[in-house]
Amino acid sequence: MEHPILARIQRETFTPLGWFSPTDMGETKQVILIGNAGPEMFRRFARSGAPTMDEWTRVVVEALAEDLSAKALFPFDKPALPFLSWARLAGAGHTSPLGLNIHATYGLWHAYRAALLFPVEFDLPRISAGAHPCEACVGKPCLGACPVQAFDGSTYNVAVCGAHIKSAAGDDCMDNGCLARRACPVGQKFAYSKPQAQFHMRAFRELR
């Protein structure tokens, strides 16, 4: 039977991506990482009419945290918080050759939206990230798919990528999502819909 805390998070259209019991976070006894995986969270955000996803996320998750007697932290907070390090502790995936977190189920098609910090530890099932899917991936198609070779398996050339998506040559990435990300075979059934891909690509381009 699913734990009621996890079920409550899912009712808010967020996905529990992993959890861990910290030893160095003061009174916090349990951390649950939540995010989007699949279409439901984005659909809810799109219906809301909120100006930005970060603002919408903060409002919705802080209300959820209050309801659960938890504290919410966000990856867009400043200074930046170690969400990828927390993901390793939470058994929530591995680092892919693109530098993105790759989840055994969701592949590259997920993102962390918040961490919920609880003053008590719940009886949650133990989870494991499992074997690194990229280590057994033949040919690493994600690395060969980028038309401007922005990825080399260890570094990401943000400037080259940014220039590409601002040009006519980058229309495919802008219309359908990053070609390198789309080339990954893991978790394809969770790939972003076209409207979601376009939303994230526009947001990314505005930052460049």
Whole-number average pLDDT of the chain: 95
Last residue within a domain, chosen from 118, 149, 170? 118
Domain count of the fold of the chain: 2
129 found inside a domain: no
H helix or E strand, kind and range, residue 31: strand 30-37
- Does 65 lie in the same domain as 165? no
β partners of residue 36:
111
pLDDT of residue 69: 97
For residue range 112-165, list pLDDT tens digits in order.
Answer: 999 999 999 999 988 888 899 999 999 999 999 999 999 999 899 999 999 999
H helix or E strand, kind and range, residue 94: strand 94-95
Among 161, 107, 109, 173, residue whose Cα is nearest residue 137? 107
Q: What is the 3-state composition of the chain as percent helix, strand, coil, each rounded to the nearest 5?
A: 40, 15, 45
Q: Which domain holds residue 190?
A: 141-207
pLDDT higher than threshold 60 for residue 110: yes
130 found inside a domain: no
- Does 30 lie in the same domain as 67? yes
- Does 78 lie in the same domain as 29? yes
114 found inside a domain: yes
- Does 97 lie in the same domain as 16? yes
pLDDT of residue 1: 45
169 found inside a domain: yes
β partners of residue 95:
101
- Does 196 lie in the same domain as 164? yes
What gap in Å lies between CA 41 and CA 199, rounded to an integer? 13
For residue range 155-185, list pLDDT tens digits in order.
Answer: 999 999 999 999 999 999 999 999 999 999 9
- Does 111 lie in the same domain as 32? yes
For residue range 68-104, list pLDDT tens digits in order.
Answer: 999 999 999 999 999 999 999 999 999 999 999 999 9
